[in-house]
Amino acid sequence: MFEIIRKKELNPTVTLMEINAPLVAKKAQPGQFIILRVDEEGERIPLTVADYDRENGTVTIIFQVVGATTEKLNHLNEGDCLCDFVGPLGKETETEGLKKVAVVGGGVGCAIAYPIAKKLHEIGCEVHTISGFRNKDLVILEDEFKAVSDKFILTTDDGSAGEKCVVTEPLKRLLDSGEKYDCVITIGPLIMMKFVCLTTKPYGVKTIASMNPIMVDGTGMCGGCRLTVGGKTVFACVDGPDFDGHEIDFDEAMARSSTYKDFERKAHEDTCNLFKKEVK
């Protein structure tokens, strides 16, 4: 069993958990993910590794409560155990040889962006980070990003924290000012990543997009993470999750990602009602 060592609410819908999983922590790299089950009857869900501590044997996950399983997971506390915690899976983000990188994260996607920015910083790369959120109440990992970034820009849609704009505006400003990046790495909502890639394309800057948001079962069997990259069919969980953002068919990916939304909403509502009945 995999014990929850630490639990912290990052905002009203996003939670951090540190899990005791020495074998996973030993091999984990930024960009990879794990598959967990809350209990023996629970579904399998993939979550990206948000951090790891090889010495203490722990792996950090950060998740947004959007469906039945994440609702169940969020009801667990420190000292409780997960039934399964398997990984690391997927290909790690390629960082070798990079000297200057812009990392662009949006919403809970910043939890995936952070370990990448951290590793880049550790290998001596100059890191410029742009983090975007709807408002100040949803901001996560601001201090952590500042600690590993040579330049950090925070944006919110309503201007309640940082700059009032979307992430593509400061990114374009940096590119227009003459910043030369070996690579731009973006992680967040599909629509955000689409426009980040559209922003960088005229400048000829290599742009990597993490397609973690569309993964469902983490094995490729469900077909939910199937997407078209450079005219070829690939699967985010087994072939990625990182791909050349300029070759991704984002419109196709966004259409497919909505397939399970009604089911997820219904399952989430049923689970919430179940917990309410148990409380009564």
CATH of the domain at 120: 3.40.50.80
In this prediction, residue 202 carries a pLDDT of 95
In this prediction, residue 222 carries a pLDDT of 66
> How far is 226 from 238, CA to CA, in rounded Å?
10
Residue type present at position 17? M
Domain that holds residue 37: 2-89
Residue whose pair of structure tokens reads 């203490």 in the numeric block: 56
Q: What is the pTM of this model?
A: 0.84
What does the block give as tokens for 84? 């399964």
Domain end among 68, 89, 110 = 89
> How far is 20 from 171, CA to CA, in rounded Å?
37
Same domain, 68 and 154: no
Domain count along the chain: 2
Domain end among 89, 115, 140 = 89
In this prediction, residue 263 carries a pLDDT of 46
Assigned domain for 216 exists = no
Q: Helices 190-200 and 168-176 meet at what angle, rounded to 10?
A: 10
In this prediction, residue 131 carries a pLDDT of 96
Same domain, 57 and 130: no
Over residues 27-36, the pLDDT tens digits come to 999 988 899 9
What does the block give as tokens for 152? 């950090």
What does the block give as tokens for 264? 């997820």
Please say whether the beta carbons of 132 and 107 come within 8 A.
Answer: yes
What CATH number should be reported for the domain holding residue 84? 2.40.30.10
Assigned domain for 41 exists = yes
In this prediction, residue 268 carries a pLDDT of 43
pLDDT band at 91 (very low <50, low <70, confident <90, very high): confident
Same domain, 77 and 106: no
Please say whether the beta carbons of 186 and 194 come within 8 A.
Answer: no
